[in-house]
Chain A
């Protein structure tokens, strides 16, 4: 059982980090970024190239992933989403745009990096094996880094000037604008941060799970699941959603293994019941 809990906690930390960027973009702009998984994949491939192929230090690769995705995110907000939001009053316009960018990224990633699964050398070797728990050291490092990143993100959002401005935007866009918050600027920074988070997680996890060009869609779906559990647009909700999903997956795969692949069936069924009772998730607000 200790192993099952350890697996769940590790998965939860990794999932929470994946969901953070998605929920940030949703909170700021009311945009469901369907390309979040593809951004994760791109971040993974950048780390693969810089660390795995060019042999530069892992930290440099992680930085490259984060910075590249931040730039891409900023450009997407400025030239795509901002334009569409300004010209269209229909919310589905941004959803369609996000879906289109997801397909675009899928095609570009396949062209640039090919169809094969890619992996990089382990950042830390060895396996922790004590007290009934087996956990490779690189997972412990990645899990710890994920928690550090989550904490840093929460503190940044809570106490920095940019974070406060973004929270104001998330709470009430018009009121924030009337109070002098530069909506365009902080929307761009928020989108860049969301994309950067996706890139950094992709870079971090390429050391554990590798990366391939086709996993963007499934990653996005999982991220949406976590956001739905925790409540759309709430940072704490995304974190809670990540840990809940991680634990449900770990426990389900052990307890229900004799019944075949029913774990996700149970998770989806539970989610449907949960959402019908609490449609805004654990921490979501009815007004967004």
Chain B
């Protein structure tokens, strides 16, 4: 006899069976693909969290996109991408632990770390365990021989700085320049190379020793003496995205009317909220999402990232590239999946279409001029100018 209770029971059983069958179907479909683990070791908490978070989210967005469309074919096999993450909290000791974790998990390709000391600290672990890593850190020793496992993931400040200063000298009449940096290894080394570049261009350096604690919240006391020197250009060397709007706002409120620039990537929304119209004219280095140069794939990447994480981060304009390079290089030489020596060999001749830029731009490894070997991703050096909540392309350069 069929009563209400048995009907409900049958419906519940049916639903559970359907779900189980669906789950089985999904898992068997996924099981057809092999798994390719790509690591991330970087900072995703603390004051510099924005740097690593934009990194790892770019990787996760791209991996989800690839997996959703059936995976990536490398050689005779198709792989789903699995991003293995580790937050090093900007601590070199934890970065080492993170790289060791990657080695234990059999990961051969790791994106990060995000800062100089972390990138230097993981080098022995990476080299001993056959890991190629892609730091967002600038010390040349990481990329010059005898080092060979690190590949710089972005444009270094000693590459973009001279180009920016030269452009501003020739086009905006900049003669006097001032530098201010956080009292940490990355910003200080970026300041030093910025000072060298400015000297080489014949600019008058009116301030170069002014520094601040990275956790400073009010920059008025820091900038008061610098603004009094009336530089034409104020360079915020290696400035963290969290500090850039505060520095810009403090300088403008103190009456500074010159140009302000940095060689690090920034986020337009953060600038808009933190400095508003004071940020107009601020010059920084970006990647590929300005409307003038972004391809449809880049636009889709931004849309997927926004859907996945609620809000896009403009820093990802440069950080979208590392995973793409790893995958494309492995596609070019499938033997490199478990053999980084193969990967290194392929880097010298590698070339593939750049999906994120309009036109016929290519992905390739560069760095011969700066490092004597190809240990840098060719990322477009897009120098942006902030205006009313968005970046506009000022000029596009390249590195060889």
Contacts and interface: CB of A to CB of B under 8 A. Distances in A.
Specify whether A and B are partners: yes
Interface of A: 3-4, 7-8, 10-11, 14, 52, 106-107, 110, 114-122, 127, 129, 134, 136, 139, 205, 208-210, 212-215, 217-219, 249-250, 253-254, 257-261, 264
Interface of B: 44-50, 53, 183, 209-213, 215, 217-218, 220-222, 224-225, 241-243, 245-246, 253-255, 267, 269-270, 273-276, 310-311, 313
A161 B255 CA distance: 48
Contacts of B211: 260-261
Contacts of A3: 224
Given A7-B221, A10-B218, A10-B220, 14 more contacts: A115-B49, A115-B53, A116-B269, A116-B270, A116-B311, A118-B274, A122-B276, A212-B47, A214-B46, A214-B49, A215-B242, A218-B47, A253-B225, A257-B210
B313 to A, nearest CB: 7
A213 B49 contact: yes
Nearest to A249: B221
A205 B274 CA distance: 12
Contacts of A212: 47, 49-50, 242
B241 A254 contact: no
20 contacts: A7-B224, A11-B218, A116-B313, A119-B245, A119-B273, A119-B274, A120-B273, A121-B276, A136-B253, A139-B220, A209-B246, A213-B49, A214-B49, A214-B242, A249-B221, A253-B212, A254-B221, A254-B224, A260-B183, A260-B209
Given A209-B246, A210-B245, A257-B210, A215 B215 contact: yes
Contact of B255 (A7, A8, A134): A134
A136 B220 CA distance: 10
A258 B269 CA distance: 34
A208 B213 CA distance: 18
Leading 5 A-B pairs by shortest Cβ distance = A218-B215, A261-B183, A214-B47, A117-B242, A261-B211
A117 to B, nearest CB: 4
A212 B269 CA distance: 14
A147 B341 CA distance: 65
Contacts of B273: 52, 117-120, 210
A117 B245 contact: yes
Contacts of B254: 134
A210 B274 CA distance: 6
B44 A115 contact: yes
Given A115-B53, A214-B242, A257 B217 contact: no
A231 B191 CA distance: 39
Contacts of A110: 45, 49
Contacts of A209: 217-218, 246
Nearest to B219: A209
- Choose among B218, B222, B245, B254 the residue with the greatest number of A CB atoms under 10 Å from its CB: B218
Contacts of B213: 218, 261, 264
B47 A114 contact: no
B87 to A, nearest CB: 10
A215 B220 contact: no
Contacts of A119: 245, 270, 273-275
Contacts of A114: 53, 310-311
Given A120-B273, A210-B274, A259-B209, A253 B218 contact: no
Contact of A215 (B210, B217, B253, B311): B217
A208 B218 contact: yes
A129 B256 CA distance: 13
A121 B273 CA distance: 7
A257 B225 contact: yes
A189 to B, nearest CB: 29
A119 B269 CA distance: 10
A160 to B, nearest CB: 32
Nearest to A136: B253
Nearest to A258: B209
Contacts of A7: 220-221, 224
Contacts of A127: 253, 255
Contacts of B44: 115
B253 A134 contact: yes
Contacts of B224: 3-4, 7, 253-254
A205 B217 contact: yes
Contacts of A4: 221, 224
Nearest to A106: B45
A135 B226 CA distance: 16
Nearest to B49: A115
- Choose among A118, A250, A253 the residue with the greatest number of B CB atoms under 10 Å from its CB: A253
Contact of A253 (B221, B241, B269): B221
Contacts of B212: 253, 261
B225 A117 contact: no
A210 B276 CA distance: 12
A14 B50 contact: no
A219 B210 CA distance: 22
Contacts of B218: 10-11, 14, 208-209
Nearest to B278: A122
A122 B273 CA distance: 10
A129 B274 contact: no
A123 to B, nearest CB: 13
Nearest to B48: A214
Contacts of A258: 209
B238 to A, nearest CB: 14
A205 B218 CA distance: 10
- Choose among A52, A122, A129, A218 the residue with the greatest number of B CB atoms under 10 Å from its CB: A218
B274 to A, nearest CB: 4
B50 A116 contact: yes
B6 to A, nearest CB: 45
A211 to B, nearest CB: 9
B385 to A, nearest CB: 20
B210 A117 contact: no
Contacts of B50: 115-117, 212
Nearest to A11: B218
A86 to B, nearest CB: 33
Contacts of B310: 114
A116 B267 contact: yes
